[in-house]
Structures are given as structure tokens and as C-alpha cells.
């Protein structure tokens, strides 16, 4: 199912954004949609995929900068902001998207815990610490942190990932409170099941692929399907834009009603489906 959105022409003209983890998946969709609306974007990635992505964006006429590295490293976080300012002289928006999908429970090692937290909430914090003074000098800015439905519910063998996303949810509100006097808004978005690399891997375990698993995972979404990465971009751009000028310290679910449903989901395959 192809989903397309109509960009708001020039909504981010003359603006500069940083999107971490912007080489693929949700991050790439956010980066692309920002570019379509006139924004210059610096984006990060840990693999060589970002090199190809950067070339594709440049060939399409967009103004981008790719920085390859690990968001768990403070020096790299600082370098990304420095490179952005050197190229464009400012930073108006930050999307903290890069995250380690370390999903473990009883088997989690100390290294697992450190990895998911250093890339996630700690990496998010370092990026905000770096861009906030710059935004303050410019009169303000906007930050969107990528949270998840996993911040709000229990899921099997997800101690590490869910704890880290829960930290992002709470930290976002604290950031919003502290940075409000500087004219900086901070919000988060919480996607449901979205067709990204992690979902691809899970769906291909038995060779069933999307054809099999979309309706199964769709049981837990009121719209009866998984989401597309681009469907996370529009809400994120809204929170970055002046249209959300009085919105801060909040979370916007992008989950097709996942958090609003009960444990039976749509009830199509439940044992009590059709009972009176």
C-alpha cells in the first residue's frame, strides 16, 4: 500500500535541520519531506547507506550534508552540530531519531543496556545540549524526539528497548520545561508498528513477508495495517513547524489507535470473536 503526502511548499524555506539516523526508514522519510518543504538538512547514519542516500538527495537538487558515525559517541554528536553550523551558520530544528534496537530481557548484558541508552536517551540529550545554545541565540527552535509505543506498554523480552524509550518520553517533558524560556519547543512522537528495517527482519523470519504479517500486526491497529515511514514524517514536521507554536512538552502518537485499544485488538482472531 503506497502512501504519499503533499508537501507544504516552502514551509521550511531558509531553515536548517539535523535529523539523526536519517539514512533510512523513518529518519530518511523525515529528512526527505523536510527537504521537499525547502529545508537544508544534515543527517547522520552509522553505515555506508548514508553515502548513497546523500548522493540521491543531492542529485534531486536538495541541500543536504551527511555525517557518518555513532550517536553513542559524544565527540561525534558535537561534530555533527559543528559541521552543520560551519555549512549553514545555524540550526533551527533537531530530530533525534537514531536509536539502537536492542530488545532483550533476562538475557540483557550490561553492554546491551549501555548501548541502547548511550545511542538513545543519552545521545538525544547530548544533541540537545549542543544545539540549544545555538537556537537560543537565534531566538528559538524546535526539537522532536523519537519515542515509541514501547514507552507505554509491556512487551515480551523488551526490558532494554522499552526502558530506553520510556526515558525518552520523560526526558522530553523535562527538556521542554527547561528550554521554554529560550523559545525552544521540545516534543516527541510515538510510532506504532511501522514498516522499517526491524519489522522487515521480523516478518521475514518465516518467509511470510509483508503479505502475511501486515494483517496480523494490523490486528493491533484500528486502521488494520502497519504504518509507512512517510506517515511519521507529516506529524513530525507539524511539531517542528510554526503551526505547532503553542505545543511543547507533549507526545503525539502515530499508532493508528494502538494505545487506545484493549488487549483483544480488533478481535478478529481472538477466541471470543463473535461471542455475545
Closest to 45 (Cα-Cα) out of 75, 87, 76, 2: 76
Dihedral pair phi/psi, residue 42, rounded to 5°: -95, 135
Q: What is the dihedral of CA 251, 256, 261, 264, to 10 degrees?
A: -140
Q: What is the dihedral of CA 124, 127, 129, 131, to 10 degrees?
A: -140
Dihedral pair phi/psi, residue 242, rounded to 5°: -70, -15
Separation of alpha carbons 19 and 28, rounded Å: 8
| Residues acting as catalytic residues | 161
Sorted by sequence, the CB contacts under 8 Å of residue 153 that are 6+ apart come out as 162, 259
> First CA to last CA across the chain, in angstroms?
34
Separation of alpha carbons 59 and 10, rounded Å: 19
Taking each continuous run of H as one helix and of E as one strand, the counts in the chain are 9, 7
Beta bridge partners of 93: 17, 142
* H-run or E-run covering 100: none
Closest to 16 (Cα-Cα) out of 96, 67, 88, 124: 88
Sorted by sequence, the CB contacts under 8 Å of residue 201 that are 6+ apart come out as none
Amino acid at each position: 500500500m503506497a502512501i504519499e503526502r503533499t508537501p507544504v511548499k516552502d514551509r521550511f524555506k531558509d531553515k536548517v535541520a539535523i535529523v539523526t539516523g536519517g539514512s533510512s526508514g523513518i529518519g530518511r522519510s523525515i529528512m526527505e519531506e523536510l527537504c521537499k518543504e525547502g529545508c537544508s538538512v544534515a543527517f547522520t547514519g552509522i553505515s555506508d547507506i548514508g553515502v548513497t542516500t546523500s548522493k540521491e538527495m543531492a542529485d534531486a537538487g536538495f541541500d543536504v550534508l551527511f555525517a557518518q558515525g555513532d550517536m553513542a559517541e559524544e565527540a561525534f554528536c558535537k561534530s555533527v552540530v559543528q559541521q552543520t553550523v560551519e555549512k549553514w551558520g545555524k540550526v533551527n530544528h533537531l530530530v533525534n531519531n537514531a536509536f539502537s534496537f536492542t530488545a532483550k530481557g533476562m538475557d540483557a548484558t550490561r553492554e546491551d543496556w549501555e548501548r541502547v541508552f548511550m545511542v538513545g536517551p543519552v545521545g538525544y540529550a547530548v544533541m540537545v545540549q549542543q544545539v540549544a545554545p545555538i537556537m537560543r541565540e537565534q531566538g528559538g527552535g524546535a526539537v522532536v524526539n523519537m519515542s515509541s509505543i514501547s514507552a507505554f506498554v509491556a512487551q515480551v523480552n523488551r526490558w532494554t528497548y522499552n526502558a530506553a524509550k520510556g526515558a525518552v518520553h520523560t526526558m522530553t517533558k523535562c527538556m521542554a520545561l527547561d528550554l521554554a524560556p529560550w523559545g525552544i519547543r521540545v516534543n516527541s512522537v510515538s510510532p506504532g508498528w511501522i514498516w522499517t528495517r526491524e519489522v522487515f527482519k521480523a516478518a521475514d523470519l518465516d518467509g511470510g513477508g509483508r503479505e502475511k504479517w501486515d494483517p496480523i500486526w494490523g490486528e493491533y491497529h484500528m486502521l488494520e495495517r502497519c504504518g509507512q515511514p512517510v506517515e511519521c514524517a507529516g506529524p513530525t514536521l507539524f511539531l517542528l513547524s510554526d503551526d505547532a507554536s503553542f505545543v511543547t512538552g507533549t507526545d503525539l502518537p502515530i499508532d493508528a489507535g494502538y494505545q487506545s485499544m484493549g488487549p483483544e485488538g480488533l478481535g478478529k482472531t481472538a477466541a471470543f470473536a463473535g461471542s455475545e
